[in-house]
Amino acid sequence: MTKTDLPIVYSCSGCSSAAQTANCIAIKMDREKVAEMSCIAGVGGDVKPLVRTAKSGREIIAIDGCPLECCKHSLVRHDVHAKHHFVLSNFDVPKKKGVDPDPVLTMNAYIQIIEYIR
């Protein structure tokens, strides 16, 4: 399977523990070749090559840390809709400022997301 056969995963990567959990999950998906991670900040910032990637027609997985859904909204600005959208607060991942992601909660959410998309 080539990279272009993989879905693209975007994640929130803000400053809260939930946002960083989303980022950790997307990185893990990329490293395990479940999906290819791309940059949501570039999509939200209208960076042309990154917007082109988002609009390429590949399956999209979006992972948001909280109900603000910044990742999802950044995609929708460009009329891109994720096939799978996850909000980690639905996986009992709390949003805390100044706190690192909990490895156990990260792995639990990751496993549930993988089970859902497969």
Q: What is the pLDDT of residues 34-68, one digit of tens each?
A: 999 999 999 999 999 999 999 999 999 999 999 99
Phi first, then psi: give them for residue 3, nearest 5 degrees. Answer: -55, -40
Q: Give per-residue pLDDT as tens, 72-96.
A: 999 999 999 999 999 999 999 999 9
Note down the domain range covering 40. 3-117
> Mean pLDDT across the stretch 13-23?
95
- Number of structural domains (the chain) is 1
Q: Give the H/E segment covering residue 10.
A: strand 8-11
pTM of the predicted model, to two decimals? 0.95
